[in-house]
Amino acid sequence: RIKRRASKTSKTSVPTKRARVIPPHPDSPTSPKFLQIQAALHAHIEPLKRDFSRFFKKGPGDYAEHDHFINISIPNIRKVVKENLDDLDYDILRTFSKSPIHEERALAALALVQKYAKEPDAVYEFYMKHRAGWDNWDIIDISCPYIVGKHLWSKHKPPKQQIHDIPDPTKPINPTSSTSTSLPAIPSDFSVLYELASARDATLWDVRIAVVSTWHLIREGHLSTTMHLSAALMSHEHDLIHKACGWMLRELGKKDRGVLVTFCDRWARDMPRVMLRYCIEKLPSATKKRLMALKG
What CA–CA distance (Å, rounded) separates 26 from 95? 9
Give me the phi and psi of 68, to 5 degrees please.
-115, 120
Q: What is the pLDDT of residues 102-120, one digit of tens each?
A: 999 999 999 999 999 999 9
pLDDT at 64: 74
What CA–CA distance (Å, rounded) separates 164 from 150? 19
Query: For residues 210 and 197, is the Cβ–Cβ distance under 8 A?
Result: yes
Mean pLDDT in residue range 122-126: 97
Q: What is the pLDDT of residues 275-290, one digit of tens each?
A: 999 999 999 999 999 9
What CA–CA distance (Å, rounded) separates 273 from 243? 10
pLDDT at 164: 64
Cβ burial 96-107 (10 Å sphere, 16+ → b, else e): bbbbebbbbbbb
Q: Which residues lie closer than 8 Å to 129 by C-beta, 6 or more apart?
A: none
pTM above 0.75, yes or no: yes
Q: How far apart, in Å, are the Cα atoms of 135 and each of 12, 97, 109, 113, 204?
A: 40, 10, 11, 16, 8
pLDDT at 187 over 50: no
pLDDT band for position 175 (cuts 50, 70, 90): very low
pLDDT at 159: 61
